[in-house]
């Protein structure tokens, strides 16, 4: 894999501060990426050392604060576990999102309620408690061409299955790609098709011959 989340995203993920939709995507990516697993482990280690230092400082100054720290961690450990406990404990995501992660990680794509939007393209909206981003799954048949477009905001794409390419490169299963207003491209699915998770904070802006028409429909 050549395309990974940057260090800022991984830092927010490891500290539990990343937006829910992005946290799910990073969780899926790092399950099969040893490089990002190592980076996240290192970041979590630094965070753990920081908490331990804070604990020691307060221990010498205020025993009540230490008691509060100990009670907090005891309460966290006492939280009820669900049926996925253990399998995804290493992911910095909400418990409510684990069923989705399990479904996508195990490629149960036949369970998705796909909607056909073009001859070789299907989509499925994913409802998440994340008002800042729209999340959808996209499925492309072999060699399907996505209309040329740029981005009004940021687009984060995780390749779940298959591959796609554009004028810049080829993107394979597991890769995490970031696009913004400076990028214009026309993705083309590989010979085996492609399934992606797309996370956006603004609509796409289509720029090809039929761009004005597609942009009009995109606003509806």
pLDDT tens-digit map of 183-194 = 888 899 999 999
pLDDT of residue 220: 43
Domain boundaries, the chain: 7-105, 109-218
Q: Which residue, among 54, 35, 202, has the nearest Cα to 132 in the 3D structure?
A: 202
Tokens representing residue 171 in the block: 């993107």
Task: Give this prediction's pTM.
Answer: 0.79
Cα dihedral 181, 185, 186, 187, rounded to 10, equals -90
pLDDT of residue 197: 97
pLDDT of residue 62: 54
The CATH code of the domain at 109-218 is: 2.60.120.10
Which residues of the chain, if any, have pLDDT below 70?
47-86, 208-220
Q: Which residue, among 29, 22, 14, has the nearest Cα to 105 in the 3D structure?
A: 29
């Amino acid at each position: 894999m050549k395309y990974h989340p940057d260090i800022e995203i991984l830092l927010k993920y490891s500290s539990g501060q990343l937006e829910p939709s992005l946290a799910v995507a990073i969780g899926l990516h790092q399950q099969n990426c040893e490089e990002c697993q190592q980076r996240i482990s290192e970041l979590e280690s630094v965070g753990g050392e920081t908490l331990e230092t804070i604990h020691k400082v307060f221990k010498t100054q205020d025993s009540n604060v230490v008691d509060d720290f100990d009670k907090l961690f005891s309460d966290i450990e006492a939280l009820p576990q669900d049926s996925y406990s253990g399998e995804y404990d290493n992911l910095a995501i909400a418990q409510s999102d684990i069923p989705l992660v399990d479904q996508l990680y195990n490629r149960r794509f036949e369970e998705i309620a796909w909607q056909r939007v073009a001859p070789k393209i299907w989509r499925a909206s994913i409802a998440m408690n994340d008002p800042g981003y729209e999340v959808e799954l996209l499925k492309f048949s072999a060699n399907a061409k996505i209309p040329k477009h740029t981005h009004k905001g940021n687009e984060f794409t995780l390749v779940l299955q298959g591959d796609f390419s554009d004028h810049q490169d080829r993107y394979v299963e597991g890769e995490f790609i970031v696009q913004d207003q400076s990028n214009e491209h026309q993705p083309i699915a590989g010979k085996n098709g492609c399934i992606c998770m797309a996370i956006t904070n603004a609509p796409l802006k289509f720029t090809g011959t039929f761009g004005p028409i597609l942009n009009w429909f995109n606003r509806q």
